[in-house]
Amino acid sequence: MANQKGGVGKTTTAINLAASLALLGKKVLLLDADPQANATSGLGFDIDMEGIYECLTGERKASEVIQQSPDVKNLWVLPSSIQLVAADTELPKMENAHHIMKRIVNEVRERFDYIFIDCSPSLGYTTVNILTAADTVLIPVQCEYLALEGLSKLLNTIRIVKSGLNPALDIEGFLLTMYMRNRLNNQVASEVREHFGELAYETIIQRNIRLGEAPSHGKPIMLYDASATGAQNYLTLAKEFLKRNRKQRAK
């Protein structure tokens, strides 16, 4: 999950898509690679525990610090902490620096059906490290024009990583978020669909108060309020995600 613009629904999507897929029976790991640790706290975990930073520095293996969700049977979290702020300056000094995140992911890859990595809202060294480890990038796009303006930088970074560090990297899709029924949001949605075609998800995540409340209770939206619009949106997204992945594997 990547977008250098903050506040576009990236972490909300990471939490709720991961939880939705887990509730549908898939084994899912959510790796929180954002120093703000919002995905960690949003699923009810302490943001001061050992996690991804210790894995990056080699102090711990991923298998030693992964935490299973007490609320969602098939969901695990590799937590983050404020210490991860140092990663952008420490990673370049390490041996085989661009591939450290890939090593961490590969260590546990076979245990899960899906591994989601929630990137920080930046295009720094850590994000490039994550893109080097990833198979695909899912890009949440807020339904406003300022969100569209920043996409070119992200797409250029993806092209650079693809041209050298990770030739297999692909775009999973563009997810429209924070949608409201008005002319501006409809125009942005139309432009995204026109420009990116089938890469744009059919599912749209609507702006929803309950969706914003859920992280403060340490729960995904479907456990906080299953009747909320946000819960319905993310369960629909999870089903579309699985359908797209089945088609991709069939190719």
Q: Which two tokens stand for residue 39?
A: 């995905």
pLDDT tens digits, 137-189: 999 999 888 777 778 889 999 999 999 999 999 999 999 999 998 999 999 99
**102: pLDDT strictly greater than 80:** yes
The mean per-residue pLDDT over the stretch 199-223 comes to 96
Angle at 242 between CA 34 and CA 139, to 5 degrees: 35
Q: What HEC string does 190-246 produce?
A: HHHHHHHHHHEEEEEEECCHHHHHHHHHCCCHHHHCCCCHHHHHHHHHHHHHHHHHH
Calpha distance 175→192 (Å, rounded): 9
Q: What's the rounded mean pLDDT across residues 74-88?
A: 93
Mean pLDDT of 16-27: 98
- Whole-angstrom Cα distance, residue 94 to residue 120? 20
pTM of the model: 0.94
Q: State in Å, rounded, how far the first CA of the chain is from the last one.
A: 24
- State how far the Cα of 127 lies from the Cα of 123, in Å rounded to an integer: 6
Average pLDDT over residues 188-203: 94
